[in-house]
């Protein structure tokens, strides 16, 4: 029997991409799913793809502390709480640190990092009280290595990794687990609402084009890897094109991996 059978799973950023596939596959594994996104129409589309599984839709902006805590209360009311939390919502931005505006940086961090913080703070206490739960945080291969023109994204994903690895220790013996996911090369529309920065130039275009050329692993395969990893109790899940190679590169060449990445225009 699946670890998710009959359990409640919360998925943020479920209107498309990995979040949509997580929702679809979770219902296929018997979970009762609470999905959220800022795009209500996309969320409704996701719900129709869940093959008549139990799906509850919530329009939530994870960058809003008030909205997230209200969402946690709604899930508690509607489904009697969450057993799994998938902090998946995220955006990207193509801009060097010098070229990006503070507003652009703040938006990426607000969603990618503060969204994870808000959701974890909102859903963790009931999990601790029940001594049961699993928080799955979406970092990236760019939580292992830093790439020029992705400084805002790197800041957020390194921070998500740091938070999750801290939770590994803090949650020992509580019945609650934390999992850090590092996808790489996943073909999603994460950049659809996250264009090049306002003052981006040729450097940003070159690197973003190189990154787009690496996006070949499907969201379906990525979501399957994530759920399989959670089922087997993994603390770290590395999935997608070149992800394992990048993880190894960061370990072998911690201060000079950039020379290798530069060969791919990254």
**Residue where the block lists tokens 């801290």:** 166
Question: If we measure between CA atoms, which residue out of 126, 152, 260 comes closest to residue 204?
Answer: 152
Q: How far is the C-alpha of 222 from the C-alpha of 241, rounded, in Å? A: 10
Q: How far is the C-alpha of 152 from the C-alpha of 253, rounded, in Å? A: 23
Q: How far is the C-alpha of 129 from the C-alpha of 97, rounded, in Å? A: 42
Residues whose CB is less than 8 angstroms from the CB of residue 112 and which lie 6 or more positions away in sequence, other chains included? 89, 90, 91, 153, 156, 157, 160
Which residue among the candidates 123, 153, 158, 257 is catalytic per the annotation? Answer: 153
153 has catalytic annotation = yes
Strands (E), the chain: 8-11, 32-37, 55-59, 84-87, 133-138, 176-183, 186-187, 217-218, 236-239
Residues whose CB is less than 8 angstroms from the CB of residue 23 and which lie 6 or more positions away in sequence, other chains included? 11, 14, 33, 35, 46, 47, 49, 50, 55
**Residue where the block lists tokens 């379906």:** 220
Annotated catalytic residues are 153
């Amino acid at each position: 029997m699946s670890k998710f059978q009959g359990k409640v799973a919360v998925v943020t950023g479920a209107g498309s991409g990995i979040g949509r596939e997580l929702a679809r596959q979770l219902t296929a594994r018997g979970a009762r799913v609470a999905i959220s996104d800022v795009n209500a129409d996309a969320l409704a589309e996701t719900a129709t793809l869940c093959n008549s599984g139990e799906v509850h839709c919530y329009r939530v902006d994870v960058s809003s502390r008030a909205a997230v805590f209200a969402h946690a209360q709604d899930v508690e009311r509607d489904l009697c709480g969450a057993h799994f939390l998938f902090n998946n919502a995220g955006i990207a931005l193509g801009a060097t640190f010098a070229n990006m505006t503070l507003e652009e940086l703040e938006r990426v961090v607000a969603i990618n990092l503060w969204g994870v913080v808000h959701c974890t703070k909102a859903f963790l206490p009931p999990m601790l009280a029940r001594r049961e739960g699993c928080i799955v945080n979406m970092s990236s291969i760019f939580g292992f290595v830093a790439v020029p023109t992705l400084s805002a994204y790197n800041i957020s994903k390194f921070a998500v990794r740091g938070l999750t690895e801290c939770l590994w220790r803090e949650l020992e013996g509580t019945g609650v687990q934390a999992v850090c996911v590092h996808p790489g090369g996943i073909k999603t529309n994460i950049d659809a609402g996250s264009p090049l920065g306002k003052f981006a130039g040729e450097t940003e275009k070159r690197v973003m084009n190189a990154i787009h050329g690496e996006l070949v692993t499907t969201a379906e395969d990525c979501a399957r890897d994530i759920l399989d990893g959670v089922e087997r109790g993994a603390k770290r899940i590395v999935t997608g094109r070149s992800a394992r190679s990048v993880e190894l590169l960061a370990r072998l060449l911690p201060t000079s991996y950039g020379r290798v990445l530069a060969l791919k225009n990254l």
